[in-house]
Chains A and B, each alone.
Chain A
Amino acid sequence: MLRFVLRRVALVLPSLAGLLVVTFLLIHAVPSDPAVAMAGDAATPEQIERLRKQYGLDRPIWEQFAVYLGKVATLDLGESAFTRRPVARDIVQRLPATLELTFCALALSVFIGVPLGVMAGLKHNTWPDYLLRVFSVLGIAVAAFWFAIMLQLLFSMQLGWLPLRGELDVSIARPTRVTGFLLLDCLIAGRLDAFADAARHLVLPAVTLSLGGLATIVRFTRAGVLDTLQHDFVFYERAMGYRRLRLIWIYVLRNSVTATVTQIGLLFGGLIAGGVVVEAIFDWPGIGSYTVQAILTGDRQVMLAVTLLVGTVYAGVNILVDVVHGLLDPRLMERT
């Protein structure tokens, strides 16, 4: 097991290095001059030139890359040219919010999607299957921003059940930061009022974000169940008189979710990057708006750091997916 994980980590490192090179080149090919943006609206050409020197922007790109690599090696992601804060600190501050949202959205997709997928698989090519498929595809097809606004109108404006935006009401004091995950911090601080409020703030964005994943999970679980049902062992287990519910939800399901788990891994990467729209609409203080801001201002350090971060999370989640695969199916672990 340990060997398995170590091997995967070792395989990931060159990929991340490659990712860094690609992103570095890409970002540096962008014509936007960070010095111009950094100097601000009222700056003079002399001021801009000075900044360019100060930040080594006038130096050859490989020199800039070498300097950057040296820093990354010591986990120093540099300082944002704009916020003047260490990028690592900004990310540490914001990532938990995004992760919290992503986890909740994924959990929603999984807890709803897997049972629906199983049901669709069992009812293959009947009306319930058709309806489930159409509805799950609706989830993918509906534009998230449109759906988000509809949710806001219904649940915040008309019914007034859920807050419109943000992660905590202004009237509620933030709990002391321990983990950075607001819900956890509320619990650690024993602040149930804040926890309830934070949870309510989480509902609409999480529901919106879960939509796209839901369809994918339904789709792959359904295919997995259909596949598993073809296997001889299902007939055998029926012939041996397994209880139907246990047969489906334990014995069939565990064989069926391998592809779903892979998809969850892929979704996770996509959700982190794709949460931008949802974060914008719900004013969620996560990594998404930070990224967009960085791109709009040409904040290279932040763009690099975010790419590296998303790449790392993506790779990490994929390792996790492999581990889960191994736990689900003992045969896989032995092949390593």
Chain B
Amino acid sequence: MTPEPILALRDVSVQLGGRKGLLRRTVPPVRAVSGVSLELQEGEILSLVGESGCGKTTLGRTILGLQRESAGEILLDGASVGGLPSDAARRARRTIQYVHQDAAAALDAWWSIGRTLAEGLLIHGVRDAGERRDRVVAMLSAVGLDPASARRYPQEFSGGQLRRVALARILLLQPRVLILDEPTSGLDMSVQATVLNLLLDLRERFSLTYLFISHDLSVVERLSDRVAIMYLGRIVEAGPAKELFADPSHPYTRTLLAAAPRLSGRRASGQSLVRGDPPSHATALPGCAFFDRCPIGEPACQASMPPLEPIASAHDVACFRAAPSGAAASVHHRATTARSAASSDIVSPLRISSAKPSLGTITVRQ
């Protein structure tokens, strides 16, 4: 029996936008996140991976409480904290904090770093100015910044330093769960490394749990305990990082892995496993959202949405064609090949789909 998760999402959906009007074009709301379930164990790093527009940031904001879920349940330490308007949601979830992707834009350029950091403490009830100052100084040192930088303004910092400032600001609030939204995007490789290092270090020191949102598979692979892959608002595969990278089951996961540029990788040539553009909600069709880009799709995939189901212990996949681990050796084999070398032997989706193997598995799943 696993311990009680620190944070759990049950079937959470989020709708965005939408408007009606007599003289305005009616725009239906977009289901940015649909039916996502996640559990975050104390102390682990769970990575949320997907291409732009897959809903990972929306999901992060929903967990935080800045975006209200339209359905589902959010549990913090086993207690429901869902269904609240944003102010109340933030109060209930103050142990969850969020670190923005663009650290510079997340800081008020008119406020010095020291004031900005102290402001968080003030909001969280630290009335004594001296105490605030001391804690800010201590935290700046903890994230590897000169305490004298408290007097400086955001525009005087480099990208890497700003990430540290952003972390310091959040850590002052003594969170337990951090949602890190692409914390290294836009950073140079050398800086990215130091920031990741800091993140691991801080997790130890402050006993943090990370929800790590990223599209960079090489970073995710090295950092995460568990990984969840999102595609068009749904989680299509989730499992322990090692297992998932070693044995990707969903065709989309495999696509992503195959597409990521690798230092070791000889250049791809000829046809690619990867087809089509990243999807948008506007063009979504019934059935499996990945169908139009899927190398192994078959007509049945268009009929209904495949549910997220376990194929191994703690490893879930939402695909009718993905066999449980070991049961679909060929797929497994192709995936690993795709990852490690050129993907020439799986590039013909036609061949695979025309073979129509294992219709039986679908019946089993139903």
Contacts and interface: CB of A to CB of B under 8 A. Distances in A.
- Judged by CB atoms under 8 Å, the answer to whether A and B touch is yes
Interface of A: 3, 6-7, 10, 336
Interface in B310-354: none
A277 B286 CA distance: 67
Contacts of A6: 23
B267 interface: no
Contacts of B25: 3, 336
Across the A-B interface, the 7 shortest Cβ-Cβ residue pairs: A7-B23, A6-B23, A10-B23, A3-B23, A7-B24, A336-B25, A336-B24
Interface in B1-47: 21-25
Contacts of A10: 22-23
A55 to B, nearest CB: 40
A7 B21 CA distance: 10
B contacts with A: majority SS:
loop
B16 to A, nearest CB: 16
A114 B22 CA distance: 38
A190 to B, nearest CB: 44
A139 to B, nearest CB: 35
A292 B21 CA distance: 42
Nearest to B23: A7
B185 to A, nearest CB: 19
Nearest to B21: A7
B193 to A, nearest CB: 29
A153 B128 CA distance: 73
A330 to B, nearest CB: 15
A252 to B, nearest CB: 27
A336 B22 CA distance: 12
Contacts of B21: 7
Q: Name, among B21, B22, B23, B25, the residue most crowded by chain A CB atoms within 10 Å (CB to CB).
A: B23
A14 to B, nearest CB: 13
A281 to B, nearest CB: 44
A336 B24 CA distance: 6
Nearest to A334: B25
9 contacts: A3-B23, A3-B24, A3-B25, A6-B23, A7-B21, A7-B24, A10-B22, A336-B24, A336-B25
Contacts of B24: 3, 7, 336
Contacts of B23: 3, 6-7, 10
Given A3-B23, A7-B23, 9 more contacts: A3-B24, A3-B25, A6-B23, A7-B21, A7-B24, A10-B22, A10-B23, A336-B24, A336-B25
Contacts of A336: 24-25
A10 B23 CA distance: 8
Contacts of A7: 21, 23-24
B212 to A, nearest CB: 31
Nearest to A11: B23
A10 B21 CA distance: 12
Contacts of A3: 23-25
A7 B25 CA distance: 10
A3 B23 CA distance: 6
Nearest to A8: B23
Nearest to A7: B23
A13 to B, nearest CB: 12
Nearest to A5: B23
Nearest to A10: B23
A54 to B, nearest CB: 44
B123 to A, nearest CB: 36
A6 B21 CA distance: 12
A91 B145 CA distance: 71
